[in-house]
Amino acid sequence: MTKKEIEQLLTAVRSGALEVGDALEQIQEMPYKDLEYAKVDYHRELRNGFPEVIYSPGKSLEQIQGIVADMLKRTKGNILASRADEQVYAAIRELTGDAVYYKDARSVVVKRQEYPVSEDYIAVVTAGTSDIPVAEEAAVTAMVMGNAVRRLYDVGVAGIHRLLDNVEVINRARVIIVVAGMEGALASVVGGLTDKPVIAVPTSIGYGANFGGISALLGMLTSCASGIGVVNIDNGFGAACMASKINQL
């Protein structure tokens, strides 16, 4: 509510055009106007097919069903339940036949709108096959959020010709998500090959001095290639959120 809007409201109260009670109601909600703006923005996202996301761990099947049932009524976009197992899928399946289970991605999508096909795609790249679950979480999340996605898997730097043979997938993307465990070197090599923003996801793939993903995390943070943003270990979801924000600018 701008200064001018408040002035108009007060003038309306004085003139009797607006009841004190109605004005009270409007002003009462004003304190967090800038924050309410975030809610407005959220509404916009719902209208645009950008769904609420349900993080499954720590929620009961009943809670998940409750949230999904409510969303089925209130929204028209795709619905995503992340880090979901087969039981979550079964629970959602009871509510709607539109539920699809992406096993690798550990994600359930209630698919009510087609995923977009576009040349403005997000590339999701992995170093090894073990990194694919995290990459799929990113890919499915990005698609559900309304982005085209191209996958390029198992192109780690130990056999760098695999990457170079497919460098066009990287160069034609608008944003690139690099998913890698162990030493995470793929992020540096990709970062050096492209002028597009790179989001790096360290994975906990590895053992010993990998320390649950620390080696990849530190490697990506200290990359010799500039302009790489890093998210938490195994956080495919977060990488897709950032990639989607960038792709939809």
Residues 31-70 that bind its own copies (CB under 8 A): 31-39, 41, 45, 57-59
Distance separating alpha carbons of residues 81 and 59, to the nearest angstrom: 11
Stretch near its own copies under the rule CB under 8 A, chosen from 68-76, 87-95, 98-106, 226-234:
226-234
Handedness of CA 209, 201, 144, 123 (dihedral sign): negative
185 touching its own copies, by CB under 8 A: yes
Give the per-residue contact string, 127-146, with its own copies (x = CB under 8 A; - = no).
xxxx----------------
118 touching its own copies, by CB under 8 A: no
Stretch near its own copies under the rule CB under 8 A, chosen from 69-77, 97-105, 109-117, 205-213:
205-213
Residue 3 CB partners (closer than 8 Å, separation 6+):
none
Which residue from 92, 153, 220, 236 is in contact with its own copies, where contact means CB under 8 A?
220
177 touching its own copies, by CB under 8 A: no
Give min distance, CB of 114 to its own copies, in A.
23
Q: E strands along the chain, which residues? A: 53-55, 79-82, 99-102, 107-110, 121-126, 148-152, 175-180, 198-202, 228-230
Max CA pair span of the chain: 78
148 touching its own copies, by CB under 8 A: no
204 touching its own copies, by CB under 8 A: yes
Say how many CA atoms lie within 13 Å of 91 toward its Cβ.
18
